[in-house]
Copies of this chain bind each other. A is one copy, B any other.
Amino acid sequence: MCRWMAWIGQPVLIDELLFKTQHGIVDQSLHARMGAEPTNGDGFGMGWYGTGDGPAVYHSVAPAWGDANLRELAGHIESHLFLAHVRAAIGSPVQQTNCHPFRSGKWLFVHNGFVAPFAGIRRDLSMAVDPERYPDIHGSTDTEIVFQLALTYGLEDDPVTALERTVGLIEATSARDGTSGTVQATFGISDGESLWAVRYATNEKARTLFGSSSVETVRRLYPDNARVAQMKEGDRLIVSEPFADLPGVWHEIPERTAIVVRPGGEWELRPFKPVAPQRRPAVSQYAG
């Protein structure tokens, strides 16, 4: 179980949304309310777009609430688009290479949930990753394999379709005991301009996911709120669980739904429908 958040809009000090917000993501690392677990202390990661080439990532194995460097960075880095993730490990080791966001070129990827039974199908899924990309696998999480599969299936052209194929592949892949793969997920993806998010679970209730209303709406609801007054046209947040308790501000993203937020803050929702790939990747013969 994990929690994540994404910001798109005017450039802000990351601090504003990590530490200065009521029940922000760092608070959720210690006191998540809607997650499977209240504690998300198995590492932290954030990725942001701004100065320098492509997105930067900061990965830490320390719990977010106690990471002195994180406070420093948040207070001194400004970004118009960033993702932050607090991790609750399920089995895989607490190490930087298992921290989200995962990155490829200009793309960032975060995930809250799991693939099951991962150990049973990890090898076949890994084999389905484009061989050219196999050397990019540095950690041991299900999320990294999901990301590499999505890249294999064209995430850079169409993130949602690529994830539909990826989830379709996972559901079509069976462990040796016959158990077929299942996915529990909210995904967050960005290329530095737009933001994509998906809420989906194969056969249980999906993890929560919320989007913030348009600035106009928020202003109308809270004309006197100081923070709201600072909001600009096009600012949007996508979060695992609402930060502040502001009725009317947070839209729950429906289950089995994908959302894309464009620069300027417009968003579109569409159904998320996994598709089993035409050709199953060969279950590699084993000759040992």
Which residues of A are interface residues toward B (Cβ below 8 A)?
A: 13, 15, 30, 38-39, 41-42, 48, 50-53, 56-63, 66, 68-69, 72-73, 75-78, 89, 92-97, 119-120, 122-123, 126-131, 134-135, 137-140, 152-153, 176, 277, 279-282, 284-288
Give chain B residues whose Cβ lies under 8 Å from the Cβ of A153.
288
Give chain B residues whose Cβ lies under 8 Å from the Cβ of A78.
51-52
- With known contacts A52-B76, A282-B286, A286-B131, A94–B123 Cβ distance under 8 A: no
Give chain B residues whose Cβ lies under 8 Å from the Cβ of A122.
134-135
Give chain B residues whose Cβ lies under 8 Å from the Cβ of A135.
119-120, 122-123
Give chain B residues whose Cβ lies under 8 Å from the Cβ of A94.
62, 66
Give chain B residues whose Cβ lies under 8 Å from the Cβ of A284.
127, 282, 284-285
Give chain B residues whose Cβ lies under 8 Å from the Cβ of A96.
68-69, 93, 95
Give chain B residues whose Cβ lies under 8 Å from the Cβ of A288.
128-130, 152-153, 281
Cβ contact within 8 Å between A58 and B72:
yes
Q: Give me 20 other A-B pairs in contact (C-beta within 8 A), A123-B135, A281-B286 excluded.
A: A30-B39, A39-B39, A41-B63, A48-B76, A51-B77, A52-B78, A53-B75, A56-B76, A59-B69, A69-B69, A69-B96, A92-B138, A93-B95, A93-B97, A126-B126, A128-B286, A152-B288, A281-B288, A282-B286, A284-B285
CA separation between A286 and B60, bound complex, in Å? 34
Residue in contact with A41 in the complex, picked from B39, B48, B75, CB distance below 8 Å: B39
A102 to chain B, nearest CB (A): 13
Give chain B residues whose Cβ lies under 8 Å from the Cβ of A75.
52-53, 56
A157 to chain B, nearest CB (A): 14
Residue in contact with A138 in the complex, picked from B62, B126, B140, CB distance below 8 Å: B140
CA separation between A123 and B94, bound complex, in Å? 24
A197 to chain B, nearest CB (A): 24
Nearest B-chain residue to A89, judged by Cβ:
B66
Give chain B residues whose Cβ lies under 8 Å from the Cβ of A126.
126
Give chain B residues whose Cβ lies under 8 Å from the Cβ of A66.
41-42, 89, 94
A123 to chain B, nearest CB (A): 4
Interface centre among A120, A138, A279 (most CB of B within 10 A): A138
Nearest B-chain residue to A38, judged by Cβ:
B38
Cβ contact within 8 Å between A58 and B69:
yes
A17 to chain B, nearest CB (A): 14
Cβ contact within 8 Å between A69 and B76:
no
